[in-house]
Amino acid sequence: TGREVTSISSTFPVFLAGHFAWLVGKSRMKHKVMPPAVTGAPEFDRTFRAQQNCVEFYPIFLTVLWTAGWFCNQELASFLGVLYVFARYKYFHGYVQSVKGRLTGFYLNLIILMCLITLGAAGIVNSFLDEYLDFSIMKKLRKLF
C-alpha cells in the first residue's frame, strides 16, 4: 500500500527537526546563549526562530499530508512531503543567513501546504460523494485516462 510511502515522507521532517535543534545548540555555544535564554546575537535569534517556525508548522504539515494521502493519492502526497522537507531546509538555512533569506523557502512551504490542503479537501469531497451519493469523481477521472 501507499501508506508506507507516506509514513516515510512524514518521518523525514523528524530527522530534519533533530538536525535543526542540533544547529540551535551549536549556535547557543557559539554565541554563549545558555538555556533558558532564547535571545542573544542576531544570528542566534534567527537560528532559534527558524527552528521554532519549523516546529510550529510540523503538526499542520502532518495533518494535511496524511489527509491528502489517505483521501486522495498516497504517492502524490508523499512526493509533496519530500518537497516540503527540501523547502523547510531552504527556509531554515536562508533564515540563518538573513531575515529576507527565509522568504523563498517559506513561500515554497506555503505552496506545498496549499497543494496538500487542496488534495485533501478534494479527496474528502470525493469520498463523501461516493459514500452518500454513489458518485465518484476519481472513478470517472480514471475512466477518462
Per residue in 112-126, pLDDT (tens digit) is 999 999 999 999 999
Report residue 49: phi and psi, to 5°.
-65, -40
pLDDT at 138 over 70: yes
Q: Kindly indicate the confidence band of residue 4, based on its pLDDT and cuts at 50, 70 and 90.
A: confident
Using CA atoms, how far apart are residues 25 and 28, in angstroms rounded to an integer? 5
Query: What's the pLDDT score for residue 1?
Result: 58
Mean pLDDT of the chain: 95
- Average pLDDT score over residue span 60-84: 96
The predicted model gives 67-82 an average pLDDT of 95
Question: Buried b / exposed e across 103-115, counting CB within 10 Å, b at 16+?
Answer: eebbebbeebbeb
Residue 139 is predicted with a pLDDT of: 83
Give me the phi and psi of 2, to 5 degrees please.
Answer: -80, -10
Q: What does the chain come to in residues?
A: 145
Tell me the pLDDT band of 59, cut-offs 50, 70 and 90: very high
pLDDT band at 26 (very low <50, low <70, confident <90, very high): very high
pLDDT value for 63:
97
For residue 92, pLDDT beyond 90: yes
pLDDT at 2 over 70: no
